[in-house]
Every structure is written in C-alpha cells, then in structure tokens.
Amino acid sequence: MKGKVVLVTGADGGLGTYVTQAFLDAGATVVGTSRKIQPSDFESANFTALAAEISTSAGAKSLVDQVVERFGKLDVVAHTVGGFAGGQSIADTDDAMFQRMFDLNLNCVFYILRAAVPLLRKTSGRVIAIGSRAALEPGAGVGAYSASKAAMVSLIRTVAVENKDAGLTANVILPGTMDTPANRKAIPNADISKWVQPASVAKLVVWLAGEAGKDVNGAVIPVYGKDA
C-alpha cells in the first residue's frame, strides 16, 4: 500500500483502530477521521488526524477537500462508521431512533461517497464499507438498525455498478458480532469465542484495497465467525 492515500472513517473506533493500524502496517499514508480523533492516537509518521462531522454533507465535503489539499489525491475510502440501537419492535420504534439509525448508518456513507467518488475515479480507487450481518438477516427488535444497514449495502453496490468503467471498486463487509470493548460491555455473558475478531476484518479490508482485490467489485462479504 505504499504510495496510497487512505481515508478511514471512524478511525478511533472499536474496528476503525484495527483498520487504521493495518493500513499503516501495509505502508499506506492514512488519514483517520472521527469527531474526536487526535494525532497521538497512532504512533506513525504516515498518520494524519482530521476531526470531522461526516453526518452532514458540508462536513463530509470539507473532510475530503482537506485530504486532497494535503495529499493531492485519494486512493481508498474505508468506511467503518456506524451505530447500533435496538430493543423495540417496529410498532414501538419512535421517529428519533429510526432517524438516528439512518443518520449513522446510511447518511454518513452517502455524504462521504458523494464527496469522494469523483476523486476515486481518477485513481481507480477502492471503497470498502463495514455493514452488518443484520443487513441480510434482520431480527426482532432491531428493525431500524437492520433497515439502515440494508440500505447501505444497496448504496455501495450501486457505486460499484456506476463506476466500474473507471476501475473503481466498491465492496461491503458484513460482520457478525465483533469482539470490541463496547460489545463486551453490552453483552457481558456472551460466548466471546464465537465473535469475529476485528483484526481479521481489518486484514480483509486491506486485502480488498490492495492489488489482489482489484477484481472484486460489488461484493457483499459475510464474516460471521464461529456463529455462522
């Protein structure tokens, strides 16, 4: 990945930390973004922290503009931003929760793609987004979350179709429950041995962004761990 400029959204999150470090280990120039990202979050001369609010169109465009201003191009977008809320049936889901799930899981990726795709077309770039198993297998009590992730899958696959003429690829990974601090806290009695390891997902993201992944486009890749 040497010479590649990679933008990782949610770079200091439970998965984003692993994805960012994996790209740095592969030699990429990495721009990590979140609302509170700090330069000290990663000890690498190849890491740049840019705090941004990508849940707005203006925030996402400003972020991408800053990346190009500093580095002159953009090769990869690894989108790890997302959020979860559940516990209510569709009949009991209020407007605020439904909208929150779409803001976090769909609108963010739409805004970042709208800003980044014109640049990625110039570099035959890569888009790798993190979805969820729930996008394909919705469950009771998580209707808003599942719907937002399913819509995100459709968006990524549309980008793949619309930009294949430029050699741009776009793929989405659907992990099952991942072994993150947040999930351990939320589900304290779970069998963690069945959960997906973030490092494994991060390696797949880097592979898709590299030369070996150039022929994979529009894929929806399940990564369910031992709970498959």
**Residue ranges of domains in the chain:** 5-227
What are residue 173's phi and psi, to 5 degrees? -105, 135
Write the pLDDT tens digit of every residue in 136-163. 888 888 888 999 999 999 999 999 999 9
Task: Tell me what the mean pLDDT of segment 79-90 comes to.
Answer: 83
What residues are paired with 88 via a beta bridge? 142
In degrees, rounded to 5, the angle at the alpha carbon of residue 106 between the alpha carbons of residues 104 and 109 is 95
What's the confidence (pLDDT) of residue 224? 86
pTM above 0.75, yes or no: yes
Q: Which of 82, 227, 79 is nearest to 146 (CA)?
A: 82
- pLDDT confidence of residue 205: 97
Task: Give, in order, the Cα–Cα distances in Å from 140 to each of 42, 93, 125, 144.
Answer: 38, 12, 37, 10
Give CA–CA dist 52/74, Å, rounded: 17
Residue 98 burial (CB count, 10 A) = 18
Residue 69: Cβ-neighbour burial (10 angstroms; 0-12, 13-18, 19+): exposed
Confidence of residue 26 (pLDDT cuts 50, 70, 90): very high
Dist CA 81 CA 216 (whole Å): 22
Give the pairing type, strands 29-33 and 47-49.
Answer: parallel
Instruction: Give pLDDT, residue 196.
Output: 85
Q: What is the pLDDT of residues 178-204, one digit of tens each?
A: 778 777 787 788 778 888 889 999 999
What average pLDDT does the chain have?
Answer: 92
Q: How many CB atoms lie within 10 A of CB 54?
A: 26
pLDDT of residue 228: 58
Q: For residue 134, name the pLDDT band (cuts at 50, 70, 90).
A: confident
C-alpha closest to that of 13 among 200, 223, 198: 198
CATH homologous superfamily of 5-227 equals NAD(P)-binding Rossmann-like Domain (3.40.50.720)
In this prediction, residues 29-56 reach a mean pLDDT of: 94
> CA-CA distance, 224 to 228, in Å (whole number)?
5
pLDDT reported for residue 59: 95
Residue 94 confidence (pLDDT) above 80: yes
75 pLDDT higher than 80: yes
